[in-house]
Amino acid sequence: MLALEQLYLRHNKLRRLPQLPFAINYSVCQLEAEQLSCLSAVTLLELRDNKIRNLPEELTLLLTLTRLDLTNNDISTSLPASLSLLPNLKVLLLEGNPLRGIRRELLTVGYTSKTHTLFTGEFINICVLPKCVLLCVFSNKQAASVPDEVFDAADHQAVTSINFSRNQLTAFPLRLLELRSSLSDINLGFNRLSCCSADICSLQQLTHIDLRNNQLTDLPSEMKNLSKLRCIVLNYNRFNSFPEALYQIVSLETVMLGNNQVGGVDPSRLMQLLSLSTLDLSNNDLLSVPPELGLCTSLRCLSLEGNPFRTPRAAIVAKGTDAVLEYLRSRIPT
């Protein structure tokens, strides 16, 4: 567990973080120091949609943490000032918590000499994070478009992260291109996008894209030019094949494609993604798993459950990634 870099525990009813070296799949309201101590290498920690009530000062133990998602929890007390001391924290998501003493439209975490208050309207949420990292939020509005006021408020503010999730968007908001010089994290999940505009490929600083729960069937070929992209989330869409563009983004570390209709993958091309450590293909239409997938030795988390293939057997899949990869390698013809 000391080498664990990404931990997703979203959409549970967790009230307490279990002893992680021994149990991950519990059905976590409390984070404790002893549980955080085994996550010293974590860069991404997703705890959204749980029942967490407070954050311990010991969060400062997570020196490598870059993204902390605590959306939709029960945090009502003030945030620990130690959050501002996390040297690598770039994205902190707190929407959907009953926080007191912090205006809903402006959550301030930490302070630098450059930190300043932005204009915010009734529907605009802009968080000021350490080192002047800015998060622009317009989510859960069931809106068909993003108002100009949102972009006007973000103008010239070097916004690095936007969250336009849980709306009724059917098209890529073109004014996002105004943020191309700084935007690194984009969340358009839970909308009605049926295609991913090639315009997104103009956002050359992107490292994280969340497009889950849309109606996507493919990605634009131009996406191969996103040379800094590390994580893409595409769960619950309508892909019937592994998106061609993703095979060509060598910077990718995480690909989440669960709950689609993907029928196959090309292991020889996946092997070229030398940084790929997490691949979620759960609940798709894989009739077989190519043995050569076992040669993708960079994988630390491979999710294959919920597919109709017969081999490897469910008992092997349940043992985890290492067991699956070892089994697949044993099936390669010699």
Whether residue 304 is contained in a domain is answered as no
Whether residue 23 is contained in a domain is answered as yes
Listed in sequence order, the residues at least 6 apart from 22 whose beta carbon sits closer than 8 Å to its beta carbon are none
Whether residue 37 is contained in a domain is answered as yes
Would you write out the chain's pLDDT as a tens digit for each of its 334 residues?
A: 444 445 565 555 544 544 443 333 333 455 555 556 566 678 888 888 888 888 876 676 677 888 888 888 888 776 776 676 677 787 888 877 887 655 444 443 332 222 333 333 334 444 444 444 467 778 888 999 999 988 888 877 788 889 899 999 999 999 999 999 999 999 999 999 999 999 999 999 999 999 999 999 999 999 999 999 999 999 999 999 999 999 999 999 999 999 999 999 999 999 999 999 999 999 999 999 999 999 998 999 999 999 999 999 999 999 999 999 999 999 998 8
**Does pTM surpass 0.75?**
no
Whether residue 48 is contained in a domain is answered as yes
Residues of the domain holding 73:
1-102
Whether residue 205 is contained in a domain is answered as no
Whether residue 165 is contained in a domain is answered as no
Domains in the chain: how many in total? 1
**CATH number of 80's domain:** 3.80.10.10
E strands present in the chain: 6-8, 44-46, 67-69, 91-93, 125-129, 133-137, 159-163, 185-187, 208-210, 231-233, 254-256, 278-280, 301-303
Whether residue 312 is contained in a domain is answered as no
Whether residue 214 is contained in a domain is answered as no
